Structure 1
Amino acid sequence: MLATGDRGRIPAGPEWAYEYKVDGYRACMRVAPGGATVLTSRNGIDFTAEFADLAGVFGDALGGADAVLDGEVVAYDENGKVDFSALQERRGRYQSHRSSIRRDEPFDDVPVRFLAFDLLRYAGRSLLTAPYDERRALLEALPLPDPYRISVVRTFTWTELDADHRTPENLLEHVAATAREGLMAKLRTGAYHPGRRTDLWRKHPLTHTTEVIICGYRPGQGRIAGLMGGLLLGAHDPATGDLVYLGDVGTGFTEAERARMKERLAPLERRRHPFAVAPPREDVARAQWVEPRLVGEVEYRQFTRGAGRVRHTAWRGLREDRSPDEVLTPGATDPQPVPGKKITVQAGKRRLQLSNLDKPLYPDGFTKGEVIHYYSRIADVLLPHLAGRPVTFLRYPDGVGGGQFFGKNVPSGAPSWLPTVTLPRHRSRETVTYPLLDELAALVWAANLAALELHVPQWTVNVEGEPALPDLLVFDLDPGPGTTIVDCCRVAERLHDALAEDGLTAFAKTSGSKGMQLYAAITTGDPGTPSAYAKALAERLARETPDTVTAVMAKAKRTGRVFIDWSQNNPAKTTIAPYSLRGRDLPTVSTPITWDEVRAGTDAEALVFTADDVLDRVDELGDLFAGLDTNRAPLP
C-alpha cells in the first residue's frame, strides 16, 4: 500500500495516527507457521538471502502462527540514526560478494533491522479489511524475540499528542530537528489496500534545494538516446575545499532541455573525473566527464552525510549567477523560503521572477509555489502534448473558489521570448493571440499566472502559423447524475473495441474532474470528419444501450447515463491537456491510465489522482501517452 502526498499540510484530528517516515528498503516479511521466512521487496525482488539474519528472526516465537508484516529494512550510522547510504553500500558489497568465487560463504556486513509498521495477516486470518487501529494493536502485541533485528515503528495518535499539549506540527519539528525523513499520517479506521496509492495514508517528506556543480553526464538511452540522460553532480567540501562527488539527477528535464544541455556540455568534455577522490565506479557507469564550470540547482529529499550524497533529486535549472567556487555541500541547516517574497529562478535558459509562492490556490492549502513545482516536475512529459498547439488558460488568480476566467489572448507583460500565434476567433472577424508553451520556462511563466488548467485543440499550428488538419480524435465521457467514472470505464471499453475494429488505437485518461477521455491519433483530409465520425459512433453506442449511454447534449437526457461528448472534435473546441491540473477542491490532474486500470475500474476514488500521485506514477510508469503519435492511423 502506498501513500499520497499531504500537499504540505499534515492532516490533523482524532481520526489520524502518525508514524516516522523510514528511509530503507520497503519489504514484506512472510512468516510460515513453522517459522520459515521470506522477505520480498515492493517490486517482487527476493531479499531473503541478502538479509539472511532477518529471515529467522521469529523462530518459534509465534507458536506456530503465520504472519505477514509490512515494513522497512534499515541500517544505522554510528549515532543511531537510520542511514540509507550505509544500506546502499552494504548492498553493493553484497552483490560483489555474491558474484565472487566466495559467494557460498556467509555474508556478514553492516547489521540490518526490520522496522515493522503494519500487520497484514496473522494466525490464519487476513487483516486487509481490518481498520488500522486493530492491525496496529495486533502488531504491537506480537512477541519480538530480538529487538536488535526487528522492532515496530513508533506511532503517535492525535489524541495522545493533544493530551501532551502537542500538535502534529510539533512532531514534525522534532522530525526535522532529528534529521528524519518525514512523517506518515494514517487514517485510524482505514483498511489496507495492497498495491494502491490512497489518501488513507499521507506522506510528508522533508525536501530541500541546493546548488550543485555539473561535473559530468550520462548519455540518454531509449527514447532519449542522443540526448543528455542525467547529470553527475559535485560540490566543495567546506572543511577542505576539495571538489567531492554529490550524486546525480535524472528527472525534471524537458527533452529540449536535455538537448540544449548536451550541446552546452560538449565543449567542456574531459577524459577524467574532476574530483579529489574517485567516485564509486558503480555510481558513474557510462559517465562522460566535463570541466566543473557550470552551476545548477536541484531539489532533494535527503543529504546522506556519511556517503555525502543528495537523494531523491529533481532538476530545477542552471544558475548562471553562481560561481562554482561558491558551491558547498549541503549544510546542517537548509534555508527556508520567506513567505510572500519575490524570487528569481532559472528555468532552462530563462530567468523568471516568481511571486506569492505561499498563496494558497486550492481549498486544501495547495499553494502557487506547489503548482509551479508540479508543472516544473511534470514538464518533461507534459510539453510534448502541448507542442505546436495554441493553449487556452483557465486562470484562478484568487485561487479555486475565488473566481476563474478563460485566458485566450496572451496577457500584457508576457515575456518577449514567448512564442505566440494569432488566429481568427471562431465565427468572428476578431483575432486571438494564443501562447505556445514549448519549454519549461513558458510552463513556469503560465503557472505563475495561476493558470491551473491548460486546454488545447485537436490540431497543431503549421509552419505558416495556420491551423493544420486535426491529428487527434477525442471522446469526452461525462457521467450524468447517478453515475460515476466507473460507468465511464464500461463505456470506454466498448469504445476501445469499436475503434480497434476501425484500425484506431485508443489511449485513456481521467478528466481530473468527474469523467474521462479517450484519444486516438489520426490522419484525415477534412477538418469536419473527426466530429462526424465521433458523433456516428457515439449515437451507435447510445442506440445499443439507451439506458446507460446518451449522445445527446441536453442535460435532461443524462440522468443515469454517460454522455459521450463527440463535439470536442469541433475545430473550435479545446480539451483539458494530459497532465494538466484542474481547478477543483483538490489539486487533481487529468491523468493517463492503463487499459488494465480501466477494465479493473470499480472504485471511483481509485481513479482520482492528485499532483503528488501523478509525479509518482510518472516515475514508476513513464508517460502512458508516449505511444499516441506512433500509433497514428487514417480515420475511416
Structure 2
Amino acid sequence: MARSARGQAGVPDWVEPMLAKPDRGRLPSGPDWAYEYKLDGYRAAMRVGPDGTTILTSRNGIDFTEEFPTLTGVLDLAGRTAVFDGEIVVYNEAGNVDFGLLQDRRGRFRKHQTAGRVDQFEGIPVRYLVFDLLRLGDQSLLGQPYEQRRAQLTQIPMPDPYRISIVPSITFAALAADRLTPQQLLSRVATEGQEGLIAKHRSAPYTPGRRTDAWLKHALTHFQEVIICGWRPGQRGFDNTLGGLLLGAHDPGSGDLVYLGDVGTGFTQHARVELKAQLQQLERGTHPFATAPPREDVVRARWVEPMLVGEVEYRQFTRGDGRLRHTSWRGLRHDKSPAEVIAPHAQPRDEPEPPQPQRVTVRVGDRQLRLSNLDKPLYPSGFTKAHVISYYTQIAPVLLPHIADRPVTFIRFPDGVDGERFFEKNVANGAPEWLRTASLPSSGSRGSGEIINYPLIDDLPALVWAANLAALELHTPQWTVSQGAKGLPDRLVFDLDPGEGTTIVDCAQVALRLRELLITDGLTPLATTSGSKGMQLYAGIRTTNAKAPAAYAKTLAEHLAMQTPERVTAKMTKAVRTNRVFIDWSQNNPSKTTISPYSLRGRAQPTVATPITWDEVRECQTPQDLTFVTDTVLERVGLHGDLLADLAANRADLR
C-alpha cells in the first residue's frame, strides 16, 4: 500500500481519486461543462511536502515513487504542501500518448527490481499530466467547485514541461468562441487518435473514491476493415487451433501493404475453425508487407496471401507505429476486396461512429426481438448492453446446455453495475409469448406456496431477450423442470467462498482436497470460478431423494472443517469466516440457486463464471490467475471447448 505520509517531511495524506462515469454515448453540452482529453496512462496522485519531498501513489494506493524517480522533486512550492491528481504518461515519437510504451517501461522496471539492483531505475522518459489540485498548503480544496480548483492549479508554476504540465481544460464558452461544439471537439479528438473526452461539471466538488455524474467520460470506439495477412496457432498445447490474426491495409499515399497489428479476441469457436481452414489454403512462405513487421510481433506467425478481408472493432489507432489498439474481431467482409482496404489515417476525417438507434428490431434464429439502449454502458469500462448481448450470443452454444430446463433467476442491472440491482424470478412484464416458462410453487424463505412463473432460457432468442433486460447474472438450481414439475437434483455443487483475509488461491487449495474426497466416493468433480471472489465444484449425480445432496455436501464440508478448522468453515455465520474458506453446502437445497457457468457477474469489470482445468486449480498463485473477462472466456472456449461438457455424462448414484 501507499507509504504513510506522516513523518515523511510533512507530506500530506493520500486522497482516493474521484472517478468518472461513462456518458452512455451522449457527451454533455452546455455552459456548465468543461472538457479535458481522456488520457491513456497510469492514474496517480502527486503528494508534495514542504521541502519538496514527493510521493507518487496509484489509484489503488500503491507507491509509484520508486518506479518513476524522475517525477520527484520537480516542483518548488515555496514551502507549501500540495496534493495533485493526474496521469503518468509516455509519449511516442509521433507526439502521442502511448500506453504500450508505458507498459514496456513497466516490464523493464520489474526486471530491474527482480535483478536486485540498487541503482536508480532509468527508463523511457515519462511525464506527469496534472488535471486537478486537491490540497494547497493547509487548505483542503475538495469541497471547492472544479473551476475554482482549476483556477488555483493554473497559478502554480510548472518549471519543467518535459516532466510535468497541466492538462488543458476547455470550457463550453471557449468552444463557442471558436465556433465549435463539444461534438466537433470530439471529432477533432478522434482525428488526432486520442482516447476520448472527460466532461466535468464546473461547479462540482471533488468526491474521493466516488463515481458521480459530475465527471462523465466518452471513450471512442472505431471499426476498421482489414486484410488478413497471417495467423498464429493457439498456445498451451492447442497448436491445432487458430489463436489470432495478423492484419494489414494499404497505405493511402504509396499503396503499399502495411502492418496494422493483430487481433486475438472476439472469435467464436466456429469462426476459429472456419478461418483456419480457409487460411491454410492461402499459406505462403514470407510476409506480404512492403516493410517487415517488428520481429517480436510476428513470433510463430504463419503467413498467407492477402486475399481475405475482415472487420475489427478498435479503440485507438497510434499513428507513430501505425497500429490498431484494443482490437476485437467482428467477422469476414465478403463484400469487400483487398484493394479497397485503406489504413485508418487515410480517412479525411476519422469521425466517431454515430450512436446506435435507441431501439432496433433484429431477427435471432426464427424469432424477432426488439432491442433497446444498445449503447448504454453497463460497466464502468464502457462495456455496453450491445457488448453484453454480443457476449451471450457468442457463448450461447456452451452456456445453454447448463441452464436448459432449469428455472432461471435473474439479477438485473438496468442502470449498470454502479446502479441499483434487483433479483427477478417471475417473468418480466412484456415477455414474448413464445418464451417458455414454468409455474412452480415458491419454497424460499419469503413464504412457501406462492406460485412463481419462472423463465426457461433454453435457446438463443430467449438468452438475447434476457440480455436485453440487462439480466447480467443468471442463477439456477441443481434440478430441472420435467413435465411442468420440479424434478430431482442432477448436480451436486460446493460453493467455496473466501472469507476476509483469504482469496481464490485458498479456495483452490480447499477444492483440491474436496476433489480427492469426491473421487474416492465415485464422483467426477469439475471446477469453475464464480466470476467474483470464489469458485464452485460440480459433480453429476443421480438420486431419488431431493434432500440427499445437501446432506452429503454438509458431511464433506464439516469433515474438512474439522480437519483444518483454522482454514475451513462449514458454518454460514460471517463472524467465523475470517481467514477461512467457507464451504457453502446449502446451495444443494432445492430452494437455492447458484451462478450459472459462463454467466457474467455484476462487478467492476465484465468478469465471468469460468470453467477451469484441475491443472489451473493446482497452479493458481494469485487471484489474477483465475480471473477471466468476456474476451478471455470466448478465447478459452475456442481453444478448450466446454470444460464442463462431461458434467451430465458422468453421473454417479447419491442416496
Shift of 1:278: 1.1
Aligned residue number for residue 147 of structure 1: 161
Letter in 2 for 1:519: Q
* Partner in structure 2 of residue 470 of structure 1: 490
Distance 2:308 2:570 in 1: 63
SS in 2 for 1:524: strand
Shift of 1:58: 1.2
Partner of 2:537: 520
Task: Say if 1:629 and 1:343 are closer, same or farther in 2 by CA, change over 3 A.
Answer: closer
CA contact (8 A) 1:7 1:365 kept: no
Q: Which residue of 2 aligns with 1:71?
A: 87
Matched to 1:503, the amino acid is: L
What is the CA deviation profile of residues 232-291 of structure 1, one whole-angstrom value per residue up to 9, with x for unaligned ones? Answer: 111122333221111111222345543443343233222211111111222222222122
From 549, 556, 559, the equivalent of 1:530 is 549
Correspondence 1:97-112 to 2 at 5 A: none
Match in the other structure for 1:503: 514
Q: Secondary structure at the match of 2:281?
A: helix
1:206 aligns with 2:220: yes
Is the alpha carbon distance of 1:307 and 1:182 closer, same or farther for their aligned partners in structure 2, counting shifts above 3 Å?
Answer: same
Aligned equivalent of 1:298, options 302, 312, 317: 312
Q: Deviations over 1:369-406 (max 9, x none)?
A: 9423234357777865545542778999xx99995466
Match of 1:317 in 2: 331
Q: Displacement of 1:66 after TM fit?
A: 7.4
Letter aligned with residue 490 of structure 2: P
Matched, 1:8 2:25: yes
Aligned in 2, Cα 1:457/1:131: closer, same or farther, shift over 3 Å?
A: farther
For residue 514 of structure 2, give the secondary structure of its aligned residue in structure 1: coil
Query: Residue in 2 aligned with 1:326?
Result: 340
Mapped partners of 2:496, 2:531: distance in 1: 10
Question: Following TM superposition, by how much is the alpha carbon of 1:199 offset from its aligned partner in structure 2, in angstroms?
Answer: 7.9
Q: 1:182 deviation in Å? A: 0.8
C-alpha offsets along residues 52-104 of structure 1, whole Å, 9 cap, x if unaligned? 7x4467164564857675413242766xx635399579969x99xx9xxxxxx
Pick one of 595, 599, 602 that aligns with 1:579.
599
Change (3 A) 1:14 1:192: farther
CA contact (8 A) 2:496 2:534 kept: yes
Does residue 23 (structure 1) correspond to residue 40 (structure 2)? The answer is yes
**1:336: which partner in 2?**
354
Unaligned runs of 5+ residues in structure 1 are: 99-105, 412-422, 462-466, 478-485, 550-563, 594-612
**Contact 1:213–1:296 (Cα < 8 Å) also in 2:** yes
Shift of 1:181: 1.9
Matches of 2:542 and 2:606 in 1, distance apart? 33
Aligned residue number for residue 289 of structure 2:
275
Q: Do 1:75 and 1:110's aligned partners in 2 also have CA atoms closer than 8 Å?
A: no
Identity of aligned residues (%): 41
- Cα shift at 1:570: 3.8
Give the conservation status (yes or no) of the 8 Å contact 2:90–2:124: no
Give the count of matched residue pairs: 538
**Does structure 2 retain, via aligned residues, the 8 Å contact 1:210–1:299?**
yes
Aligned partners of 2:632 and 2:438: how far apart in 1? 39
Q: Which residue of 1 aligns with 2:249?
A: 235
**Residues 303 and 500 (structure 1), Cα distance of their counterparts in 2 relative to 1, 3 Å cut:** closer
> Secondary structure of 2:293's partner?
coil
For residue 320 of structure 2, what is the amino acid of its counterpart? G
Query: Residue in 1 aligned with 2:322?
Result: 308
Change (3 A) 1:306 1:403: same
Note the C-alpha offset of 1:338.
6.7
Which letter does structure 2 place at the counterpart of 1:73? Answer: V
Whole-angstrom distance in 1 between the partners of 2:214 and 2:585: 33
Contact 2:175 2:181 (C-alpha < 8 Å) held by counterparts: yes
Would the aligned equivalents of 1:476 and 1:568 in 2 still touch at CA under 8 Å? no
Letter in 2 for 1:252: G
Name the CA distance, whole Å, in 2 between partners of 1:498 and 1:111: 43
Amino acid at match of 2:514: G
AA aligned opposite 1:288: R
CA shift at 1:459, angstroms?
7.1
1:499–1:506: 8 Å Cα contact kept in structure 2? Answer: no
In the alignment, structure 2 segments of 5+ residues that lack a partner are 1-16, 113-119, 416-421, 442-454, 482-486, 516-525, 562-568, 577-583, 611-627
Residue 417 (structure 1) aligns with: none
1:551-576 deviation line (CA, Å, top 9, x unaligned) = xxxxxxxxxxxxx9957754997866
CA distance in 1 between partners of 2:212 and 2:275 (Å): 37
8 A Cα contact 1:32 1:67, kept in partner: no
Displacement of 1:201: 5.6
Q: Tell me if structure 1 keeps the 8 A contact 2:45–2:59.
A: yes
Matches within 5 A, 1:96-495: 113-118=127-132, 133=146, 139-155=153-169, 172=186, 175-176=189-190, 179-185=193-199, 188-193=204-209, 202-222=216-236, 226-330=240-344, 331=347, 332-334=349-351, 336=354, 339=357, 359=373, 370-377=384-391, 384-387=398-401, 389-390=403-404, 404=429, 435-436=458-459, 454=474, 458=478, 470-473=490-493
The Cα of 1:425 is off from its aligned counterpart by: 9.7
Whether contact under 8 Å (2:199, 2:215) holds in the other structure is yes
Quote the Cα distance in structure 2 between the aligned partners of 1:435 and 1:62: 69
Q: 2:36 and 2:630 mapped to 1: Cα distance?
A: 23
Q: Is the 8 A contact 2:496 2:507 kept in 1?
A: no
Amino acid of the structure 1 residue aligned with 2:315? R
Paired residue type of 1:530: P
User: How many angstroms apart in 1 are the aligned matches of 2:400 and 2:604?
Assistant: 20
Alpha-carbon offset, residue 42 of structure 1:
7.8
Deviation at 1:143, TM superposition (A): 3.2
Contact in 2 for aligned 1:394/1:451 (Cα 8 Å) = no
Could you tell me whether the CA contact under 8 Å between 1:209 and 1:299 is conserved in 2?
Answer: yes
Distance 1:458 1:176 in 2: 49
Cα distance in 2 for residues equivalent to 1:135 and 1:260? 57
CA shift, 1:112, in A, is: 5.7
Greater Cα offset, 163-172 or 133-142: 163-172
Amino acid corresponding to residue 336 of structure 1 in structure 2 = P
Shift of 1:154: 2.6
> Structure 1 residue 186: deviation in Å?
5.7
> What secondary structure, in the 3-state scheme, does the structure 1 residue paired with 2:385 have?
helix
Secondary structure of the residue aligned to 2:26 is coil
Q: Report if the CA contact (8 A) 1:388-1:460 is conserved.
A: no
Q: 2-side partners of 1:227 and 1:218: how far apart?
A: 9
- Secondary structure in structure 1 of the residue aligned to 2:307: strand
Q: Decide whether the 8 Å contact of 1:23 with 1:74 is kept in 2.
A: no
Q: CA deviation at 1:222?
A: 3.7
- Distance 1:60-1:197 versus aligned 2 partners, 3 A rule: same
* Deviations 1:313-360, CA, capped at 9 Å, x for gaps: 111122233322222212233453674797999xxxx99999866646
Root-mean-square deviation (CA, aligned residues, Å) is 6.8
